[in-house]
């Protein structure tokens, strides 16, 4: 993801300026406010990306852990699955 870090001075044009300068100094109040807003948005974007990366890594580990247990103990996993299926069937069965 790429974005332009340069400051677009056309944002600071001031057609209502009666002094004849035609633009507002980018280092003035408007330029500083724009730079501060840009930095704030960049920080928020970095924080959001960091949070997403952290959550993604956590979910990857959470999904991989049961897979590893099943790969390391396939017989135990099958016996456990069959036992749980049997118990679930007995508890959920009808009382005929």
d(CA 54, CA 47): 11
Look at residue 26 in the predicted model and tell me its pLDDT. 65
pTM attached to this predicted model: 0.46
Look at residue 55 in the predicted model and tell me its pLDDT. 96
pLDDT tens-digit series, residues 48-66: 999 999 999 999 999 999 9
The b/e string for 56-90 (b: 16+ C-beta within 10 A; e otherwise) is: eeeeeeeeeeeeeeeeeeeeeeeeeeeeeeeeeee
> Would you give per-residue pLDDT tens digits along the chain (96 residues)?
445 555 555 555 544 444 445 565 667 888 888 889 999 999 999 999 999 999 999 999 999 999 999 999 999 999 999 999 999 999 986 565
Look at residue 25 in the predicted model and tell me its pLDDT. 65
């Amino acid at each position: 993801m790429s974005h332009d870090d340069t400051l677009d001075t056309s944002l600071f044009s001031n057609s209502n300026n009666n002094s004849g300068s035609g633009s507002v100094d980018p280092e003035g109040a408007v330029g500083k406010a724009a730079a501060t807003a840009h930095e704030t948005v960049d920080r928020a974007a970095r924080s959001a990306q960091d949070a997403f990366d952290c959550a993604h890594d956590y979910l990857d580990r959470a999904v991989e852990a049961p897979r590893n247990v099943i790969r390391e103990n396939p017989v135990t996993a099958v016996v456990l699955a069959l036992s749980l299926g049997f118990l679930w069937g007995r508890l959920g069965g009808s009382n005929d």
